[in-house]
Structure formats: C-alpha cells, structure tokens
Amino acid sequence: MACGCGYNRINESEEGFSMSKFAIGEQVENVANDHESGAVVAVFPTVDGSFRYAVDTEGYGALQFFAEEKLTIAVSRRGAT
C-alpha cells in the first residue's frame, strides 16, 4: 500500500533534467583558444539548464571554467609533427 508521501514522484523541475556532455576525468580541449587541453575536474549546472566545467588546464596550475559550447573531446596528438 502506498504511503501517499510523494517520495516516488518527480516534480516539474526534474522533468527537464539533462546530462552534461563531458564527465569528470575526461580530457577536453578549449576550441576558442589555441586548443589548450586539460581534464574536467568538476561539472556545474547553471540556472538556465546548461553546464559549466572546471578544467585543470595543462601548464597553468589553476582551474579554468568553461561553458559547454567552448569545449570538445581532446584529440590525441601522438605522431603529430
């Protein structure tokens, strides 16, 4: 018998839930700035439903924050000349 307490209900704010494009630990590149790359260390949802990413960029020693549309999966450059 259901308790009627609503624990299994989804409220309206959760209906529009979307997944982030990149996961923590994933290697990404900043497409807007010389393709600097780094690892995603945190994902933050914004009030408008998009995501921002904290990226540990190589060579800077600090986190940089990027909007999702500014990032892409890092391409391996092995063997590049």
43: in domain: yes
> Which pLDDT does position 57 carry in this prediction?
86
Mean pLDDT of 59-67: 85
> Which pLDDT does position 18 carry in this prediction?
74
pLDDT at 70 over 90: yes
Mean pLDDT of 20-47: 90
At residue 22's C-alpha, the angle toward residues 59 and 17, to 5°, is 145
Domain count, the chain: 1
Among residues of the chain, what percentage have pLDDT more than 70? 72
4: in domain: no
pLDDT at 69 over 50: yes
52: in domain: yes
CA distance 23 to 40: 7
Domain hosting 62: range is 26-73
Report the run of H or E that residue 66 belongs to, with start and end. Answer: strand 63-67
CA 38 to chain centre: 12
Total-model pTM: 0.68
14: in domain: no
